[in-house]
Amino acid sequence: MRRLLIPLTLAPIGPDAVLGGTVEVIGGRTMGTTWSVSFVPPPDRDVAHLRDLIQVELGRLNAQLSHWEPDSALCRFNRAPAGSRQPLPDALFTVLATACLIAEASGGAYDPTLGALVDLWGFGPPGPVEKPPAAEAIASALARTGWSELALDSATRSAVQPGGLQLDLSGIAKGYAVDVLSELLTAQGARNHLVEIGGELRGRGLKPNRNPWWVALEPLGLEADEIVVALHDLSVATSGDYRRALNLGGRLVGHTFDPRQGHPVETRLLGVTVIHASCMVADALATALMVLGSERGSAFARANHLACCIRSVGSEGSIDIFSPAAEHMLR
């Protein structure tokens, strides 16, 4: 069965909003994954020029946010001397500021400072490991985490490196990049578009046939209802360990970590999808809800009026739990 999620409010659509034209599709690789942009090009903009602008912007973001590029601003912060306050470039500070707000709101279920744990369990730049780390090693890595230690200062756009703190923005950077590309396209006159990076998406405006950008949510590997969302000035992000897992000594371990325990989460959740105006916010919140689990995640979504779908394993297949805000969108 197909289920539709349609936003409750729509931007005004004038008689000449989208009439005729064709959808161009371009794409490539970034942030260790793929990107694609579907858009209606304005008559005075060359598609190749827009592609070049996108590539330049993605290169700029990688140079600030990547934990895989040794010379990125993020990696330089990770190596900064203990006790130093470091000025941060615009994108890195913006993402960290949002990440810390979500970390605080979620009670630490999301944390952008898990780099040491990510590396320890074999999901970071040092590469895979053969078995789960020892308790002592986990405790040592946990001692080098903690978003509140960053002590962000908006006046100087800086953060404190207390010593050994390792940023990892893989749970929010792609969403931010989606938002940035959407704003770039809008500024270039391509107001009707769908941007995707690694499965995180943002749609704006309409297709030439005046339909919204319909996107099917990821099925997450089990027989389930097809869920399709109309991304009309909305973003969608999904978190789930189906995307990346390692076999450590016969134990399948996912890449979503509980920042409070130092272990990958062990849950019956298949994944969490969040629908939000900001893809950056949706990206981080999907991770936070994955860590919180079905019951606490549902309560958090309800209390914060989040539109989300939590998909878990039931006795006869998958179970979809829609938050009240998402239920209002169901058709």
Euclidean distance between CA atoms 43 and 202, whole angstroms: 23
Tokens of 88: 């941060």
pLDDT band at 10 (very low <50, low <70, confident <90, very high): low
Cα dist. 117→4, 64, 187, 189, 255 in Å? 38, 21, 39, 43, 10
Is residue 68 over pLDDT 80? Answer: yes
- Give the best-scoring range by mean pLDDT among 71-80, 128-137, 222-231: 71-80
- Which residues, in sequence order, are CB contacts of 292 under 8 Å at separation 6+? 106, 109, 300
Edge-to-edge strand order for the sheet containing 226-230?
2-5, 226-230, 214-216
Euclidean distance between CA atoms 68 and 124, whole angstroms: 8
Euclidean distance between CA atoms 232 and 188, whole angstroms: 19
Q: Which residue has the higher pLDDT, 102 or 17?
A: 102
Euclidean distance between CA atoms 2 and 311, whole angstroms: 15
Q: Are 126 and 138 in contact (CB under 8 A)?
A: no
pLDDT of res. 296: 95
pLDDT of res. 256: 86
Cα dist. 297→26, 114, 253, 259 in Å? 36, 20, 21, 15
Overall average pLDDT of the 125-129 stretch: 86
Tokens of 115: 């780099």
Is residue 37 over pLDDT 70? Answer: yes
The DSSP annotation for 279-291 comes to: HHHHHHHHHHHHH
Overall average pLDDT of the 105-113 stretch: 96
Q: At which residue do the structure tokens 């909003």 appear?
A: 17
pLDDT of res. 199: 93
Is residue 86 over pLDDT 80? Answer: yes
pLDDT of res. 252: 60
Percent of the chain with pLDDT over 70: 89
Instruction: Supply the mean pLDDT for the chain.
Output: 90
pLDDT of res. 331: 84
Partners of residue 36 on adjacent β-strands: 27, 196
Helix axes 173-187, 47-65, angle to 10 degrees: 150
pLDDT band at 60 (very low <50, low <70, confident <90, very high): very high
Which ranges of 20-133 does DSSP label H, i.e. alpha helix? 47-65, 73-78, 90-105, 115-120
Is residue 315 over pLDDT 70? Answer: no
pLDDT of res. 246: 62
pLDDT of res. 3: 85
Phi, psi of 44 (to 5 degrees): -100, 15
pLDDT band at 249 (very low <50, low <70, confident <90, very high): low
Euclidean distance between CA atoms 166 and 146, whole angstroms: 9
Q: Which residue has the higher pLDDT, 310 or 1?
A: 310
Q: Are 143 and 179 in contact (CB under 8 A)?
A: no
Euclidean distance between CA atoms 219 and 194, whole angstroms: 20
Q: Are 286 and 274 in contact (CB under 8 A)?
A: yes
Q: Which of 115, 100, 110, 101 is nearest to 288 (CA)?
A: 110
Is residue 286 over pLDDT 80? Answer: yes
Partners of residue 215 on adjacent β-strands: 229
Tokens of 6: 């349609």
